[in-house]
Amino acid sequence: MTTATLTTKGQVTIPAAVRAALGVGTGDRVDFVQLEPGRFEIVAATQSVTALKGLISKPPATVSIDHMNAAIAAQGSSAK
């Protein structure tokens, strides 16, 4: 188990092994998530843009502007 000491200012130095496992470095932010009273999880709050890859899937087919305009017109006429 890795431990750290709380300073008189309420600061804790995150041990190097924990920083490496979280993938955080100088200037990065971490979140403290309460799991239950007295128990927290430290989560890296910063992610690279590449971590977002695949978050939104590609549409199954492309849609032309004409098709979009027709769909908008059809939906607008049925809303009246």
pLDDT, tens digit (0-9, with 9 covering 90-100), for 42-66: 988 876 777 777 778 888 888 899 9
Q: Is residue 9 in some structural domain? A: yes
Residue 41's domain comprises: 1-47
Residue 11 clears pLDDT 70, i.e. is over it: yes
More confident residue, 57 or 11: 11
Confidence of residue 19 (pLDDT cuts 50, 70, 90): very high
Task: Please tell me the distance from the alpha carbon of residue 68 to that of residue 72, in angstroms, as a whole number.
Answer: 6
CA distances from 14 to 8, 43, 59, 66 (A): 16, 12, 43, 56
Residue that is written with structure tokens 């006429």 in the block: 77
Do the Cβ atoms of 40 and 34 come closer than 8 Å?
yes
Q: Is residue 68 in some structural domain? A: no
pLDDT at 32: 92
Residue 80 clears pLDDT 70, i.e. is over it: no
Q: Is residue 54 in some structural domain? A: no
Number of domains in the chain: 1
Q: What is the CATH number of the domain that holds 2?
A: 2.10.260
